[in-house]
């Protein structure tokens, strides 16, 4: 009868694939709910700024729309650029709606709002570029790699499977194969009958 080797369970470590998947799923759910709360906060902040802008009608007050855009850029992961764009688009709509509800439209307020629109879009673009630069810096340097499971820690502290990290951060395809040394070891194990 061939000998089947199993990995021993080490205290405090997850040894089975189902235990690791359960932990990853719970982390993803926690991360997703945390991310949703952050973006709801960005939307609420934009609505509060809109209310202040509509009631006070002050030049340069609309520049506060930069804050939710910058927060969205800070909170999003590098593979989630659409969240920053959506928050920026929402702020753009609020700036436009603010122009429509103004009792009188003078050239100073119109110029102010156009500068605000340019500023929030520049802020969004710069935050997305900063995320990509952080990612490139991480890839140029040393990747934090788990010595046991080979997961990689991204810039937000989340541990991803190597394949997932490559797909999400490098936009590269990959295939699974065996290097010559591993192929020789597997062939040797198969010949001995210790590999199923």
Answer whether residue 47 is part of any domain: yes
Q: Is residue 192 part of a domain?
A: no
With CA atoms as reference, report the closest residue to 94 among 131, 140, 130, 61.
61
Does some domain include residue 181? no
Question: Is residue 105 domain-resident?
Answer: yes
- Per the domain annotation, does 156 fall within a domain? no
- pLDDT at residue 8, as a whole number: 40
| pLDDT tens per residue, range 179-191 | 888 888 888 888 8
Which pLDDT score is estimated for 90? 94
67 with 49: CB under 8 angstroms?
yes
121 part of a folded domain: yes
Q: Where are the beta strands (DSSP E) in 4-161?
A: 152-153, 159-160
Structure tokens at 11: 């205290």
Q: Rg of the chain's alpha carbons, rounded to an integer?
A: 25
Segments forming the whole domain that contains residue 71: 17-141
List, as own/partner pairs, every contact residues 7-13 make where C-beta atoms lie below 8 angstroms and the sequence separation is at least 24, other chains included: 13/148
Q: What is the structure's pLDDT at 122?
A: 93
Q: Measure the CA–CA gap between 36 and 179, rounded to whole angstroms.
A: 42
Q: Could you tell me which of 63, 62, 70 has the C-alpha nearest to residue 42?
A: 70
pLDDT digits (tens, 9 = 90+) for 19-72: 444 444 444 444 567 678 888 999 999 999 999 988 887 777 888 998 999 888
Residue 161 lies in a domain: no
Query: Mean of the pLDDT values across residues 134-154?
Result: 78
pLDDT score of 94? 92
Q: Which residue has the higher pLDDT, 121 or 168?
A: 121
Backbone angles phi, psi at 133, to 5 degrees: -65, -40
The closest alpha carbon to 77, from 164, 155, 138, belongs to 155
For residue 21, count other CB atoms closer than 10 A to its CB: 11
Structure tokens at 114: 């156009």
Q: Over 50: is that where the pLDDT of 10 sits?
A: no
**Mean pLDDT on 168-174:** 70
Average pLDDT of the segment spanning 112-141:
84
Average pLDDT score over residue span 74-87: 82
Average pLDDT, the chain: 77
**Structurally, how many domains does the chain consist of?**
1
pTM recorded for the entire structure: 0.56
Weakest mean pLDDT among 81-85, 101-105, 115-119: 101-105
pLDDT for residue 157: 80
Contacts 24+ apart (CB under 8 A), 155-160: 155/77, 155/78, 155/131, 156/77, 158/27, 158/31
What pLDDT is attached to residue 55?
87
Residue 130 lies in a domain: yes
């Amino acid at each position: 009868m061939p000998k089947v080797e199993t990995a021993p369970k080490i205290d405090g470590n997850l040894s089975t694939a189902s235990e690791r998947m359960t932990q990853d799923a719970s982390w993803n759910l926690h991360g997703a709910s945390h991310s949703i709360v952050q973006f709801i906060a960005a939307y609420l902040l934009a609505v509060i700024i809109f209310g202040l802008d509509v009631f006070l009608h002050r030049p340069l007050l609309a520049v506060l729309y930069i804050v939710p855009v910058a927060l969205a850029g800070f909170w999003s992961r590098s593979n989630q650029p659409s969240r920053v764009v959506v928050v920026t688009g929402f702020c753009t709509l609020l700036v436009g709606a603010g122009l429509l509800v103004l009792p009188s439209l003078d050239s100073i307020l119109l110029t102010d709002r156009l500068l605000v629109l340019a500023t929030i879009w520049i802020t969004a673009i710069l935050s997305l570029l900063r995320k990509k630069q952080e990612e490139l810096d991480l890839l140029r340097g040393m990747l934090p790699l788990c010595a046991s499971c080979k997961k990689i820690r991204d810039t937000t502290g989340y541990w991803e499977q190597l394949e997932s990290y490559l797909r999400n951060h490098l936009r590269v395809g990959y295939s699974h194969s065996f290097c010559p040394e591993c192929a020789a070891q597997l062939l040797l194990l198969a010949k001995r009958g210790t590999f199923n």
